[in-house]
A and B are shown apart, each in its own frame.
Chain A
Amino acid sequence: MKNVLRELRKARGLSQAELAETIEVSRQTIIAIEADKYDPSLPMAYRLAAFFAVPVEDLFLNPWR
């Protein structure tokens, strides 16, 4: 699923490792999501959205809309 995680992360000045440590996931997971290789679960999507204080659909772009 296309997303703007990389852009939001960079806007916060965070490395992938720092973001991973902060929200308690592996760095590999952040890399895979940013590269659109894996879709996270809804809880993780909401967790990421809450961290960046944006609605989920601003982070993960809804392809059916």
Chain B
Amino acid sequence: MSGLNYKTKIQLAHGLAAGGAIVTGLAAARIAQASAPGENLGLILPLLLIVAGLGCVSTLPWWRSIDDVQRQGHLVSWFWGSMAGAWVLIMAFVAVFGRTSDLARGAGALYVAQGVGFCCAYLIWRWRGRDSGE
């Protein structure tokens, strides 16, 4: 991609990320349909995780092609926007379907998983930034 201008590189990276997300969704749906929920977990779950991982990898060229001000915008938006969106949806599910409904529990579980992922990523960030103090 070195001969391309910056705008074209960004557009290609955008396209790859969007295409990756679509392909990931379609592939995950196809894999999940291959057996009944909960069956063949030892095969289905790793396959789904691999597909999800490949979907994440497809966004790497986009992430690497944007500048640091853009990255800051995405990080701030992702943190505050996704937190606010999740809280609104969880509260709406609790209010509409009840605290013990599958939807409320599912949304809550997703939020907890995001929190765990956040903590892991933050710890890695702290670890990578370590040095001997003086």
Contacts and interface: CB of A to CB of B under 8 A. Distances in A.
Is B a genuine binding partner of A? yes
Interface of A: 20-21, 24-26, 28-29, 32-33, 38, 40-41, 43-44
Tell me whether chain A's interface is mostly helix, strand or loop, or mixed: helix
Given A26-B66, A43-B68, A44-B67, 7 more contacts: A24-B6, A24-B9, A26-B10, A26-B70, A29-B67, A38-B69, A44-B69
B5 interface: yes
Contacts, number: 32
B70 A44 contact: no
B4 to A, nearest CB: 11
A29 B6 contact: no
Interface of B: 5-7, 9-10, 66-70, 72
B74 to A, nearest CB: 12
25 contacts: A20-B6, A21-B5, A21-B6, A21-B7, A24-B6, A24-B9, A24-B67, A25-B6, A25-B67, A25-B69, A25-B70, A26-B66, A26-B69, A28-B69, A28-B70, A29-B67, A29-B70, A32-B69, A33-B69, A38-B69, A38-B72, A40-B69, A41-B68, A44-B67, A44-B69
Chain B interface, DSSP helix/strand/loop, else mixed:
helix
Contacts of A20: 6
